[in-house]
Amino acid sequence: MAVNDHTSKPSDRLIKAVSSYFNNKGFAFQKKRSLNYFERPFEYGSQSIRLEFYTHSSLVKVSLAWSVHFDKLSKLIGKLYEDIKWQKCTSAIGESLGIYTRWMENVEHAWPLYDQDSLQHDDVSINKAGKKLIEAYEHFVEPYFEKNSNYTGLANFMLEAGYDSEAALIVAKFTASPKYESILSQRYMYANNRSGEDKESALRFLHNWERFESQGDLNLALK
């Protein structure tokens, strides 16, 4: 890792420092508005790592967050909601380093891009932050991606964590989980406790889902 362009913003210098590592892992860098992230495809969708920059008094730190998106699962949810926006924004699961490690001891959640004494965003500090970010990725994120690389892994994760979302409902059915009926009941309870358009939308999803469940091919829809 090396950074030489001192005219660039500290965040851009950090991105440059770690790009070759993530590119070698199959990720491509993406920037949309204020979001900076690396993304790569996998069999069922995409995996993303978002770099989160925090600035205080012009001093910059970086942390990371990550998500796994199952394309056909999102597409099915959008179809059941009769709303295409669900296909674009629904990530099945995601975490931030701070939340994911909040009960763990001695875990750094963010790394300064500056020297603590001189308060300068120097190459040594940026490379050190990049190295620690990569170490956190290897220790926490890569195993997370591996565990959630298929629908069985996704179902195990979501159901053990107590998820009762639309995605949890569908993967519970797909994997024949005994928790399916309980999640379906919770989704109806949630819908009936809403009001107005929110209630209509939630109930429309459930009615469409039960119709699809009885008539559709879930395996075909998700594979």
Model confidence pLDDT, tens digit, residues 92-143: 789 999 999 999 999 999 999 999 999 999 999 999 999 999 999 999 999 9
Residue 34 pLDDT: 86
Domain that holds residue 194: 162-222
109 and 210: one domain?
no
Strand partners, 199: none
Are the C-beta atoms of 79 and 132 separated by less than 8 Å? no
Residue 33 pLDDT: 85
Nearest CA to 43 among 138, 136, 153, 143? 153
Mean pLDDT value across residues 182-193: 96
Q: Distances from the Cα of 119 to the Cαs of 54, 66, 129, in angstroms?
A: 15, 29, 14
77 and 131: one domain?
yes
26 and 51: one domain?
yes
Strand partners, 52: 63
Q: Total domain count for the chain?
A: 2
Residue 183 pLDDT: 96
pLDDT at 3 over 60: no
pLDDT at 64 over 90: yes
pLDDT at 22 over 70: yes
| E strand residue ranges, 33-183 | 35-42, 45-56, 59-70, 93-96, 111-112
127 and 188: one domain?
no
pTM score: 0.89
For residue 186, which amino acid is it? Answer: Q
Of 147, 181, 209, the residue that ends a domain is: 147
Q: How confident is residue 86, by pLDDT bands cut at 50, 70 and 90?
A: low
Mean pLDDT estimate for the chain: 92
Which contacts qualify for 105-113: CB closer than 8 Å, 24 or more apart? 108/132, 108/136, 109/63, 110/52, 110/54, 110/61, 110/62, 110/63, 111/61, 111/62, 111/63, 112/59, 112/60, 112/61, 113/10, 113/11, 113/13, 113/14, 113/59, 113/60, 113/61, 113/62
